[in-house]
């Protein structure tokens, strides 16, 4: 590590360890060498080999947004069907398929993956790393996710879509009531996406713990990095539950086991326990990363560091712990002991405490700051308004007597969307506007952004607020039509108008992105005057992220007054060499070599896809299709002579 005290405190060595190069940035020759080393190969085959975390993250973000749009189109069809009583736009079977596809796509193909995708792009930049940990695993996770999504929408195109709801309750999803392969496809799609999510969690946790820039101790990490870390630990503990219950479901359907058959000693409530043990933490898998978005956006536009940093971190951790104690509040309508329900009622009320603590810290930051009211901050302020409504209705349905009355009505649909769209999608759009300059090097149009915001805000409330009233007036959810004369006509029509307004807003966002990419304003490295490390590099960042790995002095490195820049020297320019640091204090530890681009993660994902799809039709696929998976992964990890030679030469370097 360089100890130079001057602003030109950069010390880097070339591949042979010869003379150091002074200056805050590497000279052009070293910068070109770094860019060439860390770039993805050109061409179509090169795209399949790509490992750069920014490339994979961009693919993840675009793919998840495509799924978001597809799910939105499905919801528009359903909402148009419900605009008037006794409508016949679509039939009940297709409605059930669209309802299942919409919820499954939003929950499994958009909400959690997009949060991991944004983190995969930003976290290495925020912590001063040149790459993400396990880059080949990161690429493999993307391909598995993509093929799982294609499987689900392929089933809709082939008239074999699942129709038992995104929660796939048994016995409805069992072999007796759901013939065909729809529920089997749903179960295997779950395995696809949850495998991808678990791999991304491992990648992100390792990156955060072991690849932070020197000086970035745990108590100096950006709050978005903390939110990502907490979320990924939740993924590791929650997702095996849904993988277990979906595997048991497909075994019941394909092999003839009886996990969920009471006549043979099974239990249908076992499904609900396993599903919601994942399903309620999933709400916070979706919700906690946007808290990190907000904790990045508010300090920047309030022009001051976030108020109550330790309390914010503890609130994130507390939310994660409490999230695993709430799953039974989805089961208050089942025949569970009343005393047990009371404990989950208490837990459902308690989880509002850490969320309220964070809101007070954000208000304290805004109250004492100098506000710059730009589009990202507008989405954050809307989050406050909408989340309060969603939180209040959440406290209401935490009461067992009220929940029994509204559980199967549109009141719960309204609550769910106020929490998930208000708590996740509004901050996500704010994050897109905030970090788009870093993603693409151009500034999104502020004027189009404000139009999109107001259309989205108005459309959202016009869509979902009437659903509270529909639920209180007795309209059940999961119905494809309803008779006239029930008093539901006007509110359903208003909700449909609001849904189309949301669609116009999303379309305006797409237009904004396309126009910006074509002729938008070029973005400087730090267009907002932010304080975290990702804004210290050009927009978009070079393939290697940092010409020199920085040394961190505080929580907002770019705002630290009087701190002289210091940088790490000695990393090779012609090999993928990274700095690994200690977990607690981020002290330099060692310099491993990262793998080069490879086609084998893609081929392994194809082999895994063949295994999963084949196993929908016969259990013997697990035996026969495991062989190509094993061969692909052996070749994936097979060492290369060039890497071994460089490693040997490096060991002899002074």
Q: Count Cα neighbours of 120 within 13 Å in the Cβ-side half-sphere.
A: 32
Which single residue is written with the structure tokens 């009233």?
469
Query: Which residues face 400 on adjacent strands?
Result: none
Q: Where are the beta strands (DSSP E) in 193-254?
A: none
Q: For residue 312, what are the β-bridge partners? A: none
Regarding predicted confidence, which is higher, 646 or 197? 197
3-state secondary structure of 461: helix
For residue 101, being part of any structural domain is answered with yes
The closest alpha carbon to 312, from 354, 373, 253, belongs to 354
- State the Cα–Cα distance between residues 238 and 276, nearest whole angstrom: 9
Write the pLDDT tens digit of every residue in 397-434.
Answer: 988 999 999 999 999 999 999 999 988 999 999 999 99
Predicted TM-score (pTM) of the model is 0.93
pLDDT tens by residue, 445-454: 999 999 999 9
pLDDT tops 90 at residue 148: yes
The pLDDT of 457-475, averaged and rounded, is: 96
Asked whether residue 233 is assigned to any structural domain, the reply reads: yes
Output the pLDDT for position 335: 87
What ranges in 82-222 are assigned the alpha helix state H? Answer: 92-104, 112-126, 135-157, 182-210
* Contact yes or no for 276/331 (Cβ under 8 A): yes
Specify if 357 maps to a domain: yes
Beta bridge partners of 12: 21
Q: With 70 as the cut, is the pLDDT of residue 15 above it?
A: no
**Half-sphere exposure for 440 (CA within 13 Å, toward CB):** 20
pLDDT tens track for 40-91: 999 999 999 999 999 999 999 999 999 999 999 999 999 999 999 999 999 9
Number of neighbours of residue 142 by Cβ within 10 angstroms: 25
pLDDT at 378: 95
Which residues touch 646 (CB under 8 Å, ≥6 apart)? Answer: 575, 593
Q: Taking Cα atoms as reference points, which of 194, 187, 114 lies closest to residue 151? A: 187
Question: Is the residue at 116 inside a domain?
Answer: yes
Does any domain span residue 224? yes
Q: What is the CATH number of the domain that holds 453?
A: 1.20.210.10
Q: Is residue 639 included in any domain, yes or no?
A: no
pLDDT in tens, 537-554: 999 999 999 999 999 988
Determine, yes or no, domain membership for 80: yes
Write out the residue range of the structural domain in which residue 192 sits: 50-522
The count of domains in the chain is 1
Q: Is 642 exposed, middle or buried (0-12, 13-18, 19+ CB in 10 A)?
A: exposed
Distance CA 444, CA 242 (A): 38
Cβ atoms of 402 and 270 within 8 Å: the answer is no
Report whether 181 contacts 160 (CB < 8 A).
yes
Q: What is the pLDDT of residues 579-633, one digit of tens each?
A: 999 999 999 988 888 989 999 999 999 999 999 999 999 989 999 999 999 999 9
Q: Which residues of 20-39 are buried (b: 16+ CB within 10 A; e: fewer)?
A: ebbbebbeeebeebbeebbb
- Calculate the average pLDDT of the chain: 90
Q: Do strands 521-522 and 580-581 pair parallel, antiparallel, or not at all (unpaired)?
A: unpaired
Q: Is residue 582 part of a domain?
A: no
pLDDT digit string (tens) for 203-245? 999 999 999 999 999 999 999 999 999 999 999 999 999 999 9
List, for residues 342-401, the tens digit of each pLDDT value: 889 998 889 889 988 999 999 999 998 888 899 999 999 999 999 889 988 988 998 899
Span 87-134, pLDDT tens digits = 999 999 999 999 999 999 999 999 999 999 999 999 999 999 999 999
Angle at 549 between CA 598 and CA 551, to 5 degrees: 150
């Amino acid at each position: 590590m360089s100890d130079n005290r001057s602003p030109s405190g950069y010390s880097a060595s070339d591949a042979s360890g010869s003379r150091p190069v002074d200056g805050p940035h590497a000279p052009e020759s070293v910068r070109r060498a770094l860019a060439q080393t860390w770039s993805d190969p050109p061409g179509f085959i090169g795209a399949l080999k790509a490992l750069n975390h920014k490339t994979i993250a961009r693919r993840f973000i675009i793919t998840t947004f495509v799924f978001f749009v597809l799910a939105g189109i499905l919801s528009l069809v359903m909402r148009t069907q419900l605009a008037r009583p006794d409508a016949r736009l679509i039939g009940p079977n297709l409605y059930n398929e669209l309802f299942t596809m919409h919820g499954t796509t939003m929950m499994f193909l958009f909400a959690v993956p997009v949060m991991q995708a944004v983190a995969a792009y930003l976290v290495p930049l925020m912590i001063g790393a040149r790459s993400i940990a396990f880059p080949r695993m990161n690429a493999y996770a993307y391909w598995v996710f993509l093929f799982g999504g294609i499987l689900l929408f392929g089933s809709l195109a082939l008239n074999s879509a699942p129709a038992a709801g995104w929660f796939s309750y048994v016995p409805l999803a069992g072999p007796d009531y759901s013939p065909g392969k729809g529920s089997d496809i749903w179960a295997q799609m779950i395995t696809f996406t949850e495998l991808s999510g678990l791999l991304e969690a491992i990648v992100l946790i390792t990156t955060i713990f072991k690849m932070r820039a020197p000086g970035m101790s745990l108590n100096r990490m950006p709050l978005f990095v903390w939110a990502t870390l907490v979320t990924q630990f939740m993924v590791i503990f929650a997702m095996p539950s849904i993988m277990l219950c979906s595997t048991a479901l497909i075994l019941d359907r394909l092999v003839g086991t009886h996990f969920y058959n009471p006549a043979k000693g099974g239990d249908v409530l076992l499904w609900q326990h396993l599903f919601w043990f994942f399903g309620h933490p999933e709400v916070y898998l979706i919700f906690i990363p946007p808290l990190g978005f907000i904790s990045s956006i508010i300090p920047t536009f309030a022009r001051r560091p976030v108020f109550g940093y330790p309390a914010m971190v503890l609130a994130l951790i507390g939310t994660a712990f409490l999230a695993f104690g709430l799953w039974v509040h989805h089961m208050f309508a089942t025949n569970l002991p009343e005393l047990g329900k009371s404990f989950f009622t208490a837990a459902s009320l308690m989880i509002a405490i850490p969320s309220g603590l964070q809101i007070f810290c954000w208000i304290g930051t805004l109250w004492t700051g100098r506000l710059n009211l730009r589009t990202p901050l507008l989405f954050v302020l809307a989050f406050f308004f909408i989340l309060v409504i969603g939180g209040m209705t959440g406290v209401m349905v935490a009461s067992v007597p009220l929940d029994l009355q509204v559980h199967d009505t549109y009141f719960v649909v309204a609550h769910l969307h106020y929490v998930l769209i208000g708590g996740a999608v509004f901050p996500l759009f704010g994050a897109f506007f905030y970090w788009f300059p870093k993603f693409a090097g151009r500034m999104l149009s502020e004027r189009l952004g404000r139009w999109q915001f107001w259309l989205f805000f108005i459309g959202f409330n016009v869509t979902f607020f009437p659903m509270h009233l529909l639920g209180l007036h007795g309209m059940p959810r999961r119905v494809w039509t309803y008779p006239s004369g029930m008093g539901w006509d006007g509110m359903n029509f208003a909700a449909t108008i609001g849904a189309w307004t949301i669609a116009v807003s999303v379309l305006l966002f797409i237009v904004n992105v396309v126009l910006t990419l074509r002729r938008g304003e070029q973005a400087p490295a730090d267009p907002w005057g932010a304080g975290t490390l990702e804004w210290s590099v050009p927009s978009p960042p070079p393939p290697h992220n940092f010409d020199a790995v920085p040394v961190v002095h505080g929580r907002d490195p770019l705002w630290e007054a009087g701190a002289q820049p210091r940088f790490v020297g000695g990393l090779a320019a012609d090999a993928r060499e990274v700095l690994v640091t200690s977990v607690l204090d981020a002290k330099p530890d060692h310099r491993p070599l990262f793998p080069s681009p490879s086609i084998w993660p893609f081929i392994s994902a194809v082999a895994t896809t063949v295994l999963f799809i084949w196993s929908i039709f016969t259990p013997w696929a697990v035996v026969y299709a495991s062989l190509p998976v094993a061969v692909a992964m052996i070749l994936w990890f097979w060492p290369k002579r060039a890497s071994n030679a460089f490693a040997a030469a490096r060991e002899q370097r002074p």
